[in-house]
């Protein structure tokens, strides 16, 4: 086993251990993955379509949720879109610079503010470098 991160990981691992210990299995694999919600195809039609929940659930991905928070901050504090993007770019550049100094960091390449400001939009106002590259690192215990 290399690492257990979240409580649900413990359940996966415990189930694999119990399966082998009880003799129900000779070998067990416990695996966890995480994927951002796709914002394209919404699935098959449901009876609830057209309600207020559609407005809420349409943004239930990490970038969508944090984009709503960033927009609310911008509105509440009367920050211009350009100033907000500049501030977020500064944070991304600083974080990547720190990652470049850490041999164990996931992202170890420095970036420039220009790269951040010109990066593709993920969820307005968040661009590519404003979002997390990997949500979780899950290793497979065998």
How confident is the model at residue 65, as a pLDDT?
Answer: 81
**141: alpha, beta or left? (left if phi > 0; alpha if psi -120 to 50):** beta
How confident is the model at residue 63, as a pLDDT?
Answer: 82
How confident is the model at residue 141, as a pLDDT?
Answer: 47
Cα distance between residue 113 and residue 96, in whole Å = 11
How confident is the model at residue 44, as a pLDDT?
Answer: 47
How confident is the model at residue 64, as a pLDDT?
Answer: 82
The pTM (predicted TM-score) of the whole model is: 0.55
- List the domain boundaries for the chain: 1-32, 53-133
34-68: string of b/e by CB count within 10 Å (b at 16+)?
eeeeeeeeeeeeeeeeeeeeeeeeebebbbbebbe
How confident is the model at residue 70, as a pLDDT?
Answer: 93
């Amino acid at each position: 086993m290399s690492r257990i991160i979240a409580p649900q990981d413990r359940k996966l691992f415990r189930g694999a251990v119990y399966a082998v210990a009880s003799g129900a299995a000779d070998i067990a694999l416990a695996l966890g993955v995480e994927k951002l919600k796709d914002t394209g195809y919404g699935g098959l039609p449901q009876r609830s379509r057209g309600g207020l929940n559609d407005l809420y659930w349409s943004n239930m991905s990490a970038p969508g949720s944090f984009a709503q928070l960033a927009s609310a901050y911008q509105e509440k504090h009367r920050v211009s879109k350009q100033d907000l993007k500049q501030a977020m770019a500064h944070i991304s550049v600083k974080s990547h610079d720190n990652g470049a100094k850490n041999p164990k960091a996931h992202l170890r390449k420095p970036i420039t503010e220009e790269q951040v400001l010109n990066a593709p939009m993920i969820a307005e106002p968040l661009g590519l470098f404003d979002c997390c590259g990997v949500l979780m690192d899950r290793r497979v215990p065998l």
